[in-house]
Structure 1
Amino acid sequence: MVLFLTELIKDWPCTVNGGKLRTVVTGITEDSSRVKKGYVFVARKGHENDGARYIEKAIEQGAKAIVIDRTDVIEIPGDIVVITVSDCTLFMSHASARLAGNPAERMKVIAVTGTNGKTTVTHFIGQLLKGYGNRVAVIGTTGIFFDGIKIDYDCPKMTTLPAEYLHPLLKKCNDENITHIVLEASSLGLSSNRLDHCEIDIGILLNIGTDHYEEHGGKSAYINAKKRLIRMAKTIIVNKDDEQCVQMVEKATVPLIYFGTDPSADVRVPELQMNPSIPGHYNRMNALAAISALLVLGYSLVDIVHHCSKLQLPEGRLQQLERDGVRVYVDYAHTPDALKAVLQTLSNSCYGKLITVFGCGGQRDKGKRAEMGELAVFYSSSVIVTSDNPRNEDPIAIISDIMEGFGGACSAIEAELDRKYAIRKAILCAAPGDIVLIAGKGHEKTQHTADGLFPFSDYEEAERALFEKTFLDIKEINIE
């Protein structure tokens, strides 16, 4: 879609100086390395970087207009249009949507938020809709899927995409006759206006946990970020069993649909027949959330429940490997609530030992570390604490924080800094009937350390360890 700069800023409160307003806009970005001829460069000031530092580079690469939200920036040449706005992130979402032709208006958009379960619920909704013959895109933590097939799309690996990537993607979906968009709405995505100007038909509130408090500056700011979805969606689906979610919608002015086990919930399915490979009460709740979305869209409850027996968990969510009687589960659980739910589920089906391997990410909520350590030792026969994604934080210090939750020395607990060897150690010591849980990274294919990003997959490491275990067991038998 070709737009003149005048059309892009029409009806948007701003001050304009310099340049030619009849300039054709070919794109918009806040990343100077993506600027091409005819682009608008948004010089946003972030937490760690200031876009104003890259204005000269953006102009050199062909930017015809600069968007700023303050006056203390470098002097900009007179032939460049300078647009001053009150909020760069809001303008970015507005301009990205308009440049793409507001594609969200032509599809049904379902946005899911919650501390835990967003990925599973979005994939469940996508699978149910596909079962009815709809063309569906699922966008979130594990990537972008068209009709259940992962596609390549040039964008950051973020739960909720920035507006400059999201709206062109939505246009691509619309061009390919996709009728339904199901996306994850993270607290950071909501608070930074990434989903503004994306028309949302259904919003889903799953739960509220303690993760991300530090990133937002406290519990109140975190909850307020989540509450933005209530004002953006036409209908809100709420977990009736989560008291915090119920409180969040007390003053909502849009239609509310409640799901859960509470007798007063609108959507309750006591006899829900799930795929036997999907265990756990929390996954039944995830399915109820997905069922609720289909009900709002007008589908019959009887038909929806029938389709639930075919649901499949997404990658890295209780992803199972089994060999010679040893079951290994790889799961993304990286919050106290998620880890507790997975441990409870596995401990109920474990006839031998439950061996847990986990760590905590660096530069994230430190308050959860000891709590997760306490949960791990409570439900597990033995625990190996290891590195997760330490980022720029000392991994030894993170492990120390986790082990405070054990309340003293314990023979069933050990620390192994190298995640690869921690996984190997857990699997090699497992016997038939035992379960090994590898928690925290799930689908991720990299390990983020102070030295950078390195290839690493929990699932692949578990596969290798299981193969090695089989080889060693055969060798022992032959020797005997």
Structure 2
Amino acid sequence: MVLYLTELIKNWPCTVSGGELRTVVTGITENSSRVKSGYIFVARRGGHYDGALYIKKAIEQGAAAIVIDRTDVIGIPAGVVVIIVPDCRVFLSHASARLAGNPAERLKVIAVTGTNGKTTVTHFIGQLLKELGKKAAVIGTTGIFIDGVKIDYDGPQMTTLPAEYLHSLLQRCENEKVTHIVLEASSLGLSTNRLDHCAIDIGILLNIGTDHYEEHGGKTCYVNAKKRLFGMVKTAIVNKDDGECVEMAKSAPVPVVYFGTDPAADIQVPYLQMNPMIPGHYNRLNALAAISALLILGYTVDEVVPRCGVLQLPEGRLQRLERDGIQVYVDYAHTPDALEAVLRTLANSCYGKLITVFGCGGQRDKGKRAEMGELAVLYSSSVIVTSDNPRNEDPDAIVRDIMEGFGGDCSAIEAVLDRKYAIRKAVFCAAPGDVVLIAGKGHEKTQHTADGLIPFSDIEEAGKALSEKTFLDIRGINSE
């Protein structure tokens, strides 16, 4: 749509100087590399860089205006429009929605937040909507899907897309006749205003775990980030089985509907005829959360519940590979709650040994490492601790933090820093009837190290290891 700069800033608290306000705005970005003629460049000061350093580059590439939230930026040419706003992030959200034509206002939008389960619940909702004849888009950690098919999209791989990408995507969805949007609302996405001007019909709060505390500056800030969703939706759906969620919902300014196994929950489905390939009590709760969303949309229990038999877990969520009687599960579990839920599920169904391979991400919540180590030992026959996404942290130091949870020496614990070799070793140690769990990275196709992103897939490596083990066993070679 054609939008003049004067229209975009009308009634917005700001101070404007320089340049021509009767300029057609063609886009907005905080990434100077994306600036084109007619774009607004938002020179925000971030945690790792200062956008003011890229103002010159943005102007050279055709920026129509510069947005800042301070008065100490110097060196901007007099003929360039400068807009000073109270908060760059909030303005970016507002302007992105306006430039896209506010598509969220015409779509049914469902946002799911929680420490664990966001990806599974969003995909479950998308699958149920498809079964009911609706065209839905699912946006989140594993990518963007329309009608269950992953689409190509030129944007960052983030759980919750920044506003400048989100609203243009919603506009594309609307043009492709999508009627429902189901998206993951991460704590960081909520706290950094990415969803501020996205009209949301239903918000779902699944659980509160012990992840991302350090990124937010503590548990209180993390919880408050999640609570922001209550002020952005028309109806909230909350897990009645999670006491912290129930407490958070007490101050919600919108109607709250509770789901769960708790007798006081508004929505309970005692027994779900789910796909038998989807194990775990926690996945039944995930399905119940999805059902709750459909009921709020106006569907009946009789319409929704029978369709749960077709539900499938998204990529990297208890993704199962089997060969010669050995089962391998790849799962994204990277928090203590998620890891325990998966381990308990597999331990209850495993007739042989349960071998667990996992690590913890670098530069993230060090406090959870020992706890995850303790849980792995509690449920597993043997554990191989390996590297996850160490980023710029020493992988050896991460492993030492995890090993503290083992409470001393243990012959069933081994550290193998090379993740590929750790997976291979676990599979080669397994016998028919055993289960191997590879946890932490799930769907991810890269590993984030100090050297940058390198190609790596747990699913591919597990498949290769199973094939190689079969090859060696056939020839009578000791694969260990």
Partners of 2:139 and 2:77 lie apart in 1 by 40
Cross-structure match for 1:449: 449
Partners of 1:74 and 1:316 lie apart in 2 by 48
Residue 32 (str. 1) matches residue 32 (str. 2): yes
Code of the aligned partner of 1:417: L
Q: CA deviation at 1:272?
A: 1.2
User: Deviations 1:216-262 (Å, cap 9, x if unpaired)?
Assistant: 00000000000000000000000000001001110222111100000
Partners of 2:99 and 2:273 lie apart in 1 by 45
Cross-structure match for 1:385: 385
SS at 2:267 equivalent: coil
Partners of 1:477 and 1:76 lie apart in 2 by 71
Code of the aligned partner of 1:319: Q
Partners of 1:64 and 1:477 lie apart in 2 by 68
SS at 2:204 equivalent: strand
Residue 337 (str. 1) matches residue 337 (str. 2): yes
Code of the aligned partner of 1:117: G
Pairwise mapping of residues 17-166 of structure 1 onto structure 2 (< 5 A)? 17-166=17-166
Code of the aligned partner of 2:243: E
Partners of 2:473 and 2:448 lie apart in 1 by 34
Code of the aligned partner of 2:363: Q
User: Deviations 1:308-340 (Å, cap 9, x if unpaired)?
Assistant: 011000000000000000000000000000000
Cross-structure match for 1:396: 396
Code of the aligned partner of 2:80: I
Code of the aligned partner of 1:15: T
What is the aligned residue count?
478
Code of the aligned partner of 1:278: I
Residue 414 (str. 1) matches residue 414 (str. 2): yes
Q: Unmatched 5+ residue regions in structure 1?
A: none
User: Deviations 1:79-106 (Å, cap 9, x if unpaired)?
Assistant: 1100000000000000000000000001
Which deviates more from structure 2 when the two are superposed, residues 28-37 or residues 73-82? Answer: 73-82
Q: Unmatched 5+ residue regions in structure 2?
A: none
Partners of 1:477 and 1:340 lie apart in 2 by 35
Code of the aligned partner of 2:341: A
Cross-structure match for 2:14: 14
Cross-structure match for 2:470: 470
SS at 1:98 equivalent: helix
Code of the aligned partner of 2:471: F
Partners of 2:368 and 2:138 lie apart in 1 by 29
Partners of 2:90 and 2:224 lie apart in 1 by 17
User: Deviations 1:154-192 (Å, cap 9, x if unpaired)?
Assistant: 000000000000000000000011000000000000000
Partners of 1:251 and 1:112 lie apart in 2 by 18
Partners of 2:153 and 2:272 lie apart in 1 by 36
Residue 259 (str. 1) matches residue 262 (str. 2): no
Pairwise mapping of residues 211-360 of structure 1 onto structure 2 (< 5 A)? 211-360=211-360
Partners of 2:407 and 2:74 lie apart in 1 by 55
Code of the aligned partner of 2:79: D
Q: CA deviation at 1:74?
A: 2.4
User: Deviations 1:382-426 (Å, cap 9, x if unpaired)?
Assistant: 000000000000000000000000000000000000000000000
Code of the aligned partner of 1:322: E
SS at 1:462 equivalent: helix
Partners of 2:119 and 2:90 lie apart in 1 by 26
Cross-structure match for 2:170: 170
SS at 1:57 equivalent: helix
SS at 1:367 equivalent: helix
Partners of 2:369 and 2:470 lie apart in 1 by 34
Code of the aligned partner of 1:75: G
Pairwise mapping of residues 428-439 of structure 1 onto structure 2 (< 5 A)? 428-439=428-439
Partners of 1:231 and 1:79 lie apart in 2 by 40
Residue 423 (str. 1) matches residue 423 (str. 2): yes
Identity across aligned pairs (percent)? Answer: 80
Partners of 2:444 and 2:186 lie apart in 1 by 17
Code of the aligned partner of 1:358: F
Code of the aligned partner of 2:159: T
Output the TM-score relative to the length of structure 1.
Answer: 0.99
SS at 2:310 equivalent: coil
SS at 1:377 equivalent: helix
The alignment's C-alpha RMSD in Å is 0.8
Q: CA deviation at 1:477?
A: 8.0
SS at 2:307 equivalent: helix
Partners of 2:122 and 2:291 lie apart in 1 by 11
Partners of 2:160 and 2:313 lie apart in 1 by 20
Q: Which runs of 4+ in 1 moved over 4 A?
A: none
Output the TM-score relative to the length of structure 2.
Answer: 0.99
SS at 2:127 equivalent: helix
Partners of 1:10 and 1:314 lie apart in 2 by 43
Partners of 2:94 and 2:303 lie apart in 1 by 39
Cross-structure match for 2:461: 461
Code of the aligned partner of 1:269: V
Pairwise mapping of residues 369-384 of structure 1 onto structure 2 (< 5 A)? 369-384=369-384
User: Deviations 1:427-475 (Å, cap 9, x if unpaired)?
Assistant: 0010000000000000000000000000000000000000000001100
